[in-house]
Structure 1
Amino acid sequence: MSLSTFLFLGYKTVKHGTPMLFNILASLSKSLAPLTRYLAKTVVIGPLFAFVIRCLFFLGFIVLLMSDQLIRAVFRLLIGRHPSKRNYSITSAMDPRIELFDDTIPRSKHLEDSELFKQRKHLRMTNSTGPESRALTSLLKRPKYSVPLAYTLSVASKLVYEEVDIIKYELKRAGFDVDRTFKPIAYKNICAFITEKDDDILLVFRGTNPLNIQNYLTNISMTMTEIKSPWGPMGKVHKGYWKAMGEPIKRKDDHETVKTTITPDGPVLRIELTNTSVYRTIVSAVQGTAKIIKFLTTNLFRHVKEPIDSSWVGPDIDIRTNSMYALAEEHILDLIHHHHSPDEAQSRRRSGLSHGSTAPNTTATKKRKRLFITGHSLGGSMGLIFLAKMLQSKSPLLDHFAGLYTYGQPKIGDAEFSKVFSPRMTSKIFHHVYNNDIVPRTPSFWHYDTPPGSLVYIDSAFNITIYPPNPYTNEPVPVRPISFLHLSGLLNRYVIRRLPRENQIRILFRILFPFFMNDHFINDYCQSLRQGKVQWVIMGAGGLEGGDEEQQKAVHKRGSLQRRLSIVDVHD
């Protein structure tokens, strides 16, 4: 009875009080508008007010970055420290296990072996009843997808949220050549690392740091910018993401790179003092002091205006001058051009990047190095932006591109942008969506469209379904909208079964956050890929949505699906 009374009074208060509050705010806005316009145009008050706001924002940014270490210390009390003696991040606190390889994960051999895939396609065409379905199946290009590789890259996308010492420890434990190939890269507030194992190079971008307000500003810069290349237009993309990557190194032509020195150090102030006389002593001291004051005020205001996060690579490295793209491309090209001796190459290939190769190489001949790009959330967007800039600049890295695997990646471009990527490239691009993760479904306004490549949809039971692009147009398949009319989150029976194996921090997050945010955490992507299997490759020529529940039921029953839809069953 008390609850009913409380709810009734609350409803009445909101109903009758809201219009009054709106009227007060509207009147206040109308009264203050002339004054604010006048003050904004003044020579002193307007700029001063803007400077104060920027300073407050900068202080808040610094406090948040310091809070990251405080929260890590709190988590240490609950789950302990990492073996490297560093503290876990919020991401890993929910599941501290970091295992980059798992040999028990079954290989998706029908997707890794072209001959097996052709046989399965032929079987599907033979059993198909309609000519249209057979035509779709014949046009389907094999998605070069591997579940074990997807799992490894998802764990790498989780690992990148940690401190550099933890990353190096885990990579070395997994057999990566950390001493020679590992490189952490930062540009303003975007972070990534590069490493190599058995001629496979990983470029891993970090997603949004929950305590880095600049990452959120990058995310919400949603206005679209038109991008062009020497060979034609490339559509429109998210302005914040495109700008955050930085520009490629300029090339004179397709084969010659303009020599540009990329240095880790920023501008250096040098002051020369002389004491040959009283006059020279005073003059040089005054000049040196003036230079110091100018250096301090100019650069401090620069940091206030555009704060950077130097915690990733250290305070002595310049992360403002050289772009993320230029730094990453230079290091990867250095790794590609570095060839091992025959004995070293043969020794390294005996182990191989686990599940990374479709066919083992038993010879000591030189093997083309492969580049895999990956990232979660914002990191996935940056991975796709990096690939787009490779395409825009005709980078030599394109010859080594082997796959882009993203997890919970938001939309970043329009339909024209997605069509820029050829079928040969989209067969190596996979954006994973776990169940009701809201981030891949946003932004849903303006001209934002589905990312290029294949949608890899994972339901709450960890069933994996791949939706390649439209065989006729190469148009990607969108993920279905979120449904609020079914049991999700803590009411989902599969989630309930997993609760006893989850720690208290993960359960707390499940309680605090709605199901569509909980489904975004990278831990669920890692777990689902570790325990799941690819069941089907589903394609259509229009009107198809990935992860449609009714469609999944029809697939389970092996019944007829909607018109213009074809299934290739690749369950091993």
Structure 2
Amino acid sequence: MDCDKRFSSGHLILKPEELRLSDLVRLILSGDVEKPRLVDSSDTTEPRFRRRILIFVSVVVLKILLLVSAPLSLFGSASEFVLNFLSHNTFSDVFLRGEVVIPEKSSPGYVSFVGYLDTRISLDTTARREDGHRFYAALCIMASKFAYENPARIKYVVEDYWKMKFLGMDNYWNEYLEKNTTQAFMMSDESSDGEETIVVSFRGTEPFNSEDWCSDFDITWYELPDIGRIHGGFMKALGLHKNYGWPKDPLPNPNRKSPLAYYAIRDKLKTLTCHNQRTRFVLTGHSLGGALAILFVAVLIMDGEVTLLDKIRGVYTYGQPRVGDSRFAAFMEKRLEEHDITYYRFVYNNDIVPRLPFDDKDLMFKHFGTCVFYDRRYDAKVLREEPNKNFFCPAAMVRMTSSAAMELVRSFTIAAREGPEFEEGWLQRVARVFGLFLPGISNHSPQDYVNAIRLGPSHVFRVHRNLRISN
């Protein structure tokens, strides 16, 4: 095994940039995974056809995403600018008075594409601190939603609307891609009795960022001894050291232009929590951000950061992809229970991302923790695993398309039933139409997760990890 993987006991690395048609044919027809240039594996053979199909699909999807990366990013930036331009300029301003406002991307008024899908700013007024997990779930989904915004806008909303303290937003380095790929912000909320809660919110999958989507569809993994197999792309985004894995402290690297996410956030939390013994923190994120939130806890456990682990109030993720295999899931379940860490993983209806990377009963990625599954009626069930866990089942497509059609109809009636705060804009309705063709994509919007927490039943938050929960 070369030095790039020496910290692990096994690995599977996909290299879609090396994709050739002949390699795809060889991969499908042969169990020899050493020869195709698009696969780097510690296993020299793969006799199972199902496994080779999973690798085939993942490589093809990754290759397509890499090919469309530049135009997709350009389209996203242009769409975001147009949305902001239209919101800053009325017809009369432009055509009658000749006044044009050019929106600035770094200003508090500049809204991300995700922000236009759900324009709500205010927190859930029905959630109280004494509600425990429901309060933090409602707070964290809003923090996860605003992690997509620029720092000035986050600061404006946190301090002016939520009346909390903004602690900063930073970009973090990925040593494998040699660029900033990870963002997270922190804020703090202090109760009347002096108890402080710090919220760490990781930014999720941006709609027009191919690299983010590559992380979701990639089945790359590294196996850590006595722990299990963990998703490679998510570990790299969190701060995995090239060649060295997870040393206790970050190793010097002259090419590094910004800090590594895990180490910078860990050290900042140590500083923030040492002044007040009653300070606790929660970790959260939507989509890719949710994966980074729970893996942050995993690395704390691997590093033996007991003091910080004991200060975790909870982990709340929304539409989170899978992060490890069954051994890793068992490892995390045991350690979370030892440190009394509550982990809620929220899944809405047919959201495709929690079903990624593709599941394989012998090898691949498994979920763990308490899954709160919401259907399109915002009813909720506490499950071990979300229904239809592999998503790509032809028999389920009719049901999912029917559900997407009902959600499109609901978008025109929900405000009349539930109140004006649930009114959906035209952009979200366009996403609902798109959901008729790919239901799992439209169900990934933060809009439905905000609605689910606010409208869903509260009894799901009374379920503890040590209770037996059914599938």
TM range, smaller chain: 0.5 to 0.7
Structure 2 counterpart of 1:4 = none
Structure 2 counterpart of 1:75 = 83
Structure 2 counterpart of 1:153 = 140
Inter-CA distance 220–79: structure 2 relative to 1 (3 Å threshold): same
Structure 2 counterpart of 1:169 = 156
Inter-CA distance 442–59: structure 2 relative to 1 (3 Å threshold): closer
On the 8 A contact 2:165/2:187 being kept in 1, the answer is: yes
- Correspondence for 2:354 among 436, 440, 446: 440
Inter-CA distance 494–96: structure 2 relative to 1 (3 Å threshold): closer
The code of the aligned residue for 1:98 comes to: I
The 3-state SS of whatever aligns with 1:104 is coil
Describe the superposition over 1:467-511 as per-residue Cα deviations: whole angstroms up to 9, x where unpaired. 4xxxxxxxxx11110543433012246555327721111111111
Q: How does 1:91-102 map to 2 (within 5 A)?
A: 91-99=114-122, 101-102=123-124
Structure 2 counterpart of 1:239 = 232
- CA drift of 1:530 comes to 1.8
Structure 2 counterpart of 1:105 = 127
The 3-state SS of whatever aligns with 1:384 is helix
Inter-CA distance 58–221: structure 2 relative to 1 (3 Å threshold): closer
On the 8 A contact 2:151/2:169 being kept in 1, the answer is: no
On the 8 A contact 2:230/2:323 being kept in 1, the answer is: yes
Q: Using the alignment, how far apart are the partners of 1:172 and 1:445 within structure 2? A: 41
Inter-CA distance 442–212: structure 2 relative to 1 (3 Å threshold): closer
Inter-CA distance 480–94: structure 2 relative to 1 (3 Å threshold): same
Per the normalisation by structure 1, the TM-score is 0.56
Q: Using the alignment, how far apart are the partners of 2:223 and 2:239 within structure 1? A: 15
Q: Which has the larger radius of gyration?
A: 1
Inter-CA distance 532–105: structure 2 relative to 1 (3 Å threshold): farther
- Correspondence for 1:90 among 97, 101, 113: 113
The code of the aligned residue for 1:497 comes to: T
Structure 1 counterpart of 2:343 = 429
Q: Using the alignment, how far apart are the partners of 2:456 and 2:468 within structure 1? A: 28
- CA drift of 1:225 comes to 1.2
- CA drift of 1:437 comes to 1.1
**Uncovered stretches (5+) of structure 1, i.e. residues with no partner:** 1-24, 31-39, 41-56, 113-145, 252-257, 268-298, 300-316, 340-366, 468-476, 546-572
Q: How does 1:22-171 map to 2 (within 5 A)?
A: 65=73, 67-80=75-88, 84-99=107-122, 101-105=123-127, 109=131, 112=132, 146-171=133-158
The code of the aligned residue for 1:76 comes to: N
Describe the superposition over 1:52-99 as per-residue Cα deviations: whole angstroms up to 9, x where unpaired. xxxxx9997566555544222211244447995532111111221122
Higher relative contact order (CA 8 A, sep 6+): 1
**Uncovered stretches (5+) of structure 2, i.e. residues with no partner:** 1-20, 27-36, 38-64, 89-102, 174-179, 191-195, 417-422
Q: Using the alignment, how far apart are the partners of 1:326 and 1:151 within structure 2? A: 27
Structure 2 counterpart of 1:523 = 447
In the alignment, structure 1 residue 196 sits paired with structure 2 residue 222: no
On the 8 A contact 1:249/1:326 being kept in 2, the answer is: no
Per the normalisation by structure 2, the TM-score is 0.67
- After alignment, is 379-388 or 525-534 more displaced? 525-534
The 3-state SS of whatever aligns with 2:200 is strand
Structure 2 counterpart of 1:325 = 262
On the 8 A contact 2:111/2:149 being kept in 1, the answer is: yes
Structure 2 counterpart of 1:184 = 170
In the alignment, structure 1 residue 415 sits paired with structure 2 residue 415: no
On the 8 A contact 2:200/2:283 being kept in 1, the answer is: yes
Structure 2 counterpart of 1:505 = 427
The 3-state SS of whatever aligns with 1:189 is strand
In the alignment, structure 1 residue 478 sits paired with structure 2 residue 385: yes
Inter-CA distance 402–85: structure 2 relative to 1 (3 Å threshold): closer
Describe the superposition over 1:159-199 as per-residue Cα deviations: whole angstroms up to 9, x where unpaired. 01011111111111222222xx3242422311111222222
The 3-state SS of whatever aligns with 1:484 is helix
Q: How does 1:283-432 map to 2 (within 5 A)?
A: 318-319=257-258, 322-339=259-276, 367-395=277-305, 396-421=307-332, 422=334, 423-425=337-339, 428-432=342-346
On the 8 A contact 1:427/1:454 being kept in 2, the answer is: no
Q: Using the alignment, how far apart are the partners of 2:216 and 2:398 within structure 1? A: 29
Inter-CA distance 242–521: structure 2 relative to 1 (3 Å threshold): same
In the alignment, structure 1 residue 532 sits paired with structure 2 residue 442: no
Q: How many residues align?
A: 356
The code of the aligned residue for 1:157 comes to: S
Inter-CA distance 336–235: structure 2 relative to 1 (3 Å threshold): same
Inter-CA distance 62–331: structure 2 relative to 1 (3 Å threshold): farther
Q: Using the alignment, how far apart are the partners of 2:459 and 2:467 within structure 1? A: 20
The code of the aligned residue for 1:462 comes to: Y
Using the aligned pairs only, state the percent identity. 25
